[in-house]
Amino acid sequence: MSLKIATWNVNSLRQRLTHLERLAEDQAPDVICLQETKVDDPLFPGDALAEMGYSHQVFRGQKAYNGVAILSRIPFKRRDHRIWCQKDDKRHVEVTLPGGLELHNFYVPSGGSIPDPEKNDKFAHKLSFLEEMAQWARSQTRGRKVLIVGDLNVAPLENDVWNHKRLVRSIGHTPGESQRIADLLEAGALVDAPRQFTPPDQPLYSWWGYRFPQAFERDYGWRLDHAFASQSLMPEIRRIETLRDARSWQKPSDHVPVIVELAA
DNA sequence: ATGGTAGACGTTCTA
């Protein structure tokens, strides 16, 4: 038996329903964690998703920005969320699955464009958010079966971006952000699961921007979408796949799904 | 030197 969990920043759920249908057909994930749904809860397309087989749903959205959801073929034992940085901007939702796996879905602030927290409130917010995650993980992930997934908006390792030297002063790949991801892993005794399957000396990306011409064709990618497992969960992870192909679909999201397959 | 595209929204903001 196995349990497949997908994480995907869809960059507008309503623009990506046919893409989700294709993911469901091609990969048949049991659980799908979404980020940047960009839809307020009353407009959530729950019926269309239920028709794809995902009748169990938790969603926390808002108009135009942010928003997270977890879709599932299997019922949840428990659902919850937390407010981060005293700001209810719909960046986290959590479920417990049968068997006791605690699944956290995050959308970390992107952080704007100037990598200086003194001059850029959005970057300050991002750094605080990551620090709060580490503080939280210290008490909430150790010794438990926890999987943290989502768009963390940080590519922490050199081979998580297409050109480390060129991008090391760009938001998403600054040493301060990478250090905070390392702090989160350390604080929560968490493992960067995809990097156990694809060694850190090899490139691994999940996002190719829209702006740079032919970003995907030239493989100008970043690994922004993550799966961090607690130590007790790690032995259950059978394989992890990044669906690069989804970036070449019609009207794609700028992110592709990452799939974690657990023995269950 | 500060581009380029996409999405939601509404006469711009965010990524």
Q: How many residues does chain A have?
A: 264
Determine the nucleotide nearest to A89 by Cα–C1' distance. B14
CA A259 from chain center: how many Å? 11
The pLDDT, as a whole number, for residue A39 is: 97
DSSP label of A84: B
Kindly report the average pLDDT of chain A as a whole number: 97
pTM above 0.85, yes or no: yes
Give distance CA A170 / C1' B3 (Å).
15
Q: By C-alpha distance, which of A254, A141, A134 is closest to A205?
A: A254
Give distance CA A143 / C1' B7 (Å).
40
The pLDDT tens digits of the residues spanning A153-206 come to 999 999 999 999 999 999 999 999 999 999 999 999 999 999 999 999 999 999
The pLDDT tens digits of the residues spanning A44-61 come to 999 999 999 999 999 999
Quickly list H helices, A107-220.
Answer: 121-140, 164-167, 175-188, 194-197
Asked if the model's pLDDT at residue A229 lies above 90, the reply is yes
DSSP label of A163: -
Asked if the model's pLDDT at residue A94 lies above 90, the reply is yes
Domain that holds residue A182: 2-263
Bases along strand B below 7 A from a protein CB:
4-9, 14-15
Look at chain A and report how many structural domains it folds into.
Answer: 1
The pLDDT tens digits of the residues spanning A121-151 come to 999 999 999 999 999 999 999 999 999 999 9
Distance separating alpha carbons of residues A161 and A181, to the nearest angstrom:
15
Nearest-CA residue to the C1' of B7? A12
The pLDDT, as a whole number, for residue A264 is: 74
**Where residue A122 sits, what CATH number does that domain have?**
3.60.10.10
Give distance CA A191 / C1' B12 (Å).
41
Give distance CA A177 / C1' B10 (Å).
35
Tell me the mean pLDDT in the region A81-108: 97
Determine the nucleotide nearest to A40 by Cα–C1' distance. B8
Give distance CA A13 / C1' B9 (Å).
16
